[in-house]
Chains A and B, each alone.
Chain A
Amino acid sequence: MKKSKKLIVLAILSALCLLIVPGCKKGDDKSGTGGEGKTIEITHWYWADNSDYSAKMQEIAKTFNETNGKNIKVKAEEYPWDGGGYSETLFTAAMGGGGPDTAAWKLTSTPLFVANKLLAELDGFINNWADKDDIEENLWDVMKQAGGSDKIYVMPWNTQVLYVYYRPSMFKAAGVSVPKTYEEFLEACKKLTRDTDGDGKIDVYGFGMRGAKGGQEPWGSFIWARGGNFTDFTTPEAIQGMQDFIDLFKKGYTPPTAPTDGFNEIIANFKSGKTAMTIHHIGSSSGMVETFGDDVDAFVFPAGKGQWTSMGDTENVIFESCKNKEAAFEWVSYLATGKGQEEWCITTGNVPVSKRVQAMDFFQNNKFMKVSIEGAPYAGIFPILDTTTEWINTVWPNTVAAALTGQKTAAQAMEELQKGLYGDKK
């Protein structure tokens, strides 16, 4: 009797252990070993801004699978960008052992992933890669800076240079010409803010300001235009740039919802004719043309004392946990300089990193691409520190909202932004 009782206890405990153990297993052996004749499966994560881009990525993966000749099968899985939430999802998955083999990437995430030893070093692959020189040398330097060492963890894919979208018909109606200087730009914001139907209410705002997450990119152009920079936000020049930003809102040249307007709102406001200008990159151009036809154009954010525009970057990485890094590199290099690069950049309108693709007629004849290329010399990124993600997601939107709504002065807000990014060190 006693024996049978013990056996039952043992059986139940063993069953419980069996339940628990598979849950502890770290990841699946999905990458395979790449033995002869065996399919090597690579899981790739990416985000897409619309359904066309989504379908294109699936098509690129399918074409790659059919043509690579090495039995590599890429399984492309889409995750929402979610204002940067993508990187958090990726980090959680990778830390939990369930991340992909390769993933689309933003440079700002690099310090976090490198610090946690999640990314594979690519130097060995890149140095032996025939297409290495098809990518600008300075891009490799940017990739190295992001990792905080001489090693490369990130494979370039494409860039987006922010510029100002505008409605030529609204410019004409308000008697405004395309601004050549920063002062002219501020003046245009004022003149373009109009009551078009004479009911005493503003119908069109000059500038579609982005005050929510992601708004730091267009905001940066104001700081630099006054002669400031991102090393020290507390200089009089940087504070003046912030003051201009606040004034645009306070004087009513932006929609009153600006402190909480994100990507969707600024695009919706521009497309509905509520704003005459807004700042975004070429990724929105096809939607703009679809809405307005020829009545939409773009210009580079004009120079004041200085000039800067944000370079949106998109890269790819290989994870350290990937079992077959050669196959993974085959895939990310296909995206960087192969047919994948060509296809993706034609569909999205993003600026290619491959010199060969840049030289194609499609990119040479596109007016938005021309503005992107024109703005490229002034394009840069925010300092990539381990505080950058929190600064972008929480500190910047809340501090700027406080400044816009009059809770903080420009100087106080800049002091807080400085502290949020650099801590107490100056």
Chain B
Amino acid sequence: MIPKPKEVRSLHERKAGIWPYLLVAPALLIVVAVVFIPVLNAILMSFQSYDLRRPSDIAFIGFNNYIAVFKDTLFWQSVLRTVIWVVFGVGFQFVFGFCLALLLNKNFKGRGLVRSVSLIPWVTPGVLIGLMWRWIYDGSYGVLNDLLMKMHIIEDPIPFLARQGTSFPAVIVTIIWQGIPFFAIMLLAGLQGVPHELYEAADIDGANVFSKFFHITVPCLRNTIYVTTLLRIIWVANSVDVIYNMTGGGPAYATQTLSVYVFNKANALNLGYSSTMSIMLTLILLMVAIPYLKTMFRNQEA
């Protein structure tokens, strides 16, 4: 093998060195403009009394916003609600999504149609989902009350979204309904990549359905499960549209998750305080995401 002359290689390297950056530059500039600058701005705002209702009072106030957030009982209640929202929301989305994926992976008549129809909740805008479910749950004219009364399960209509005990479970059911197709489709794609030979070999070895599921299906889907669950945790924790359109965070803050609290505070134009809370939310999500990713990579290496 004849080694390349040093000069030629360096010229080639230089060429390669400029073009990739140049080609990436437009995308990078846009990302910097729409992601990095706003994030930096939010961090800066979190150290300011940035309240547009009092523009003349805007000034750097150090950690005062952070101290106020730590003392804010509504903040801690919202954090707790966010945890419940994510655990139950994503948890049930995953379970039902997995069931649906297994079902859609079977051969049956009309499978294509069922696959398309099952995507509907995922492609419906969150605002529309919020409005639709608000009417489903309505205490006076809602279809859910009507059905339950016709089936003699309840005698009087339940104002699901007006009661503290029922409003939060009601919005969780909605987000579960919305997210099932995402898991179903992603896991279905993963399922189609599982080699049939593995199941055939297991059949020969006399493995039952559960053994095949836990020893072949789940390990083969591990990466898909990790990635989809992490994405959903982040999206659901950040989700505002469904809750905002169903209850606005009420009644009596019963459905106010942290992202809805951030949104409400930002709507009240207290941008410094809402930036502080959004940074706290980011840190909480990082606390979940980093160990999660570490475990995922460790498993991959293993």
Contact = CB atoms under 8 A, between A and B. Distances in A.
A115 B267 contact: no
A115 B54 contact: yes
A228 B56 CA distance: 34
Contacts of A9: 18, 22
Contacts of A272: 140
B268 A257 contact: no
Interface of B is mostly: loop
B140 to A, nearest CB: 6
A16 B33 CA distance: 12
Given A9-B22, A115-B54, A389-B268, A255 B140 contact: yes
B53 A111 contact: yes
B162 A387 contact: no
A390 interface: yes
A386 B54 contact: yes
Nearest to B256: A398
B26 interface: yes
Interface in A391-412: 393-394, 397-399, 401-402, 404-405, 407-408
Contacts of B139: 255-257
A78 interface: no
B163 interface: yes
Interface of A is mostly: helix
B268 A390 contact: yes
Interface residues of A, number: 44
Interface in A364-398: 386-387, 389-390, 393-394, 397-398
A259 B251 contact: yes
B55 A115 contact: yes
Given A389-B268, A405-B251, A405-B252, A257 B52 contact: no
A259 B252 CA distance: 9
B161 interface: yes
B235 to A, nearest CB: 24
A274 interface: yes
A201 B149 CA distance: 13
B284 to A, nearest CB: 22
A265 B251 contact: no
Contact of B159 (A5, A201, A257, A274): A257
B264 interface: yes
Contacts of A247: none
A407 B162 contact: no
Interface stretch (B90-98, B190-198, B219-227, B242-250): B242-250
A408 B254 CA distance: 13
A272 B140 CA distance: 10
Interface in B124-177: 138-141, 155-157, 159, 161-164
A256 B162 contact: yes
Interface residues of B, number: 36
A33 interface: no
Given A260-B161, A393-B267, A398 B249 contact: yes
B156 A260 contact: no
Contacts of B249: 394, 398
Nearest to B21: A9
Nearest to B51: A386
A424 B138 CA distance: 37
A210 interface: no
A9 B267 CA distance: 42
B174 to A, nearest CB: 15
B35 interface: no
A115 B252 contact: no
B273 to A, nearest CB: 11
Interface string A70-98: 00000000000000000010010001000
B29 to A, nearest CB: 6
Contact of A112 (B53, B156, B157, B254): B53
Contacts of B156: 201
A203 to B, nearest CB: 12
A158 interface: no
A44 B73 CA distance: 42
Contacts of A408: 252
B269 interface: yes
Given A112-B269, A405-B164, A398 B52 contact: no
Given A5-B18, A212-B250, A260-B251, 6 more contacts: A115-B52, A255-B140, A265-B140, A274-B140, A401-B251, A405-B164
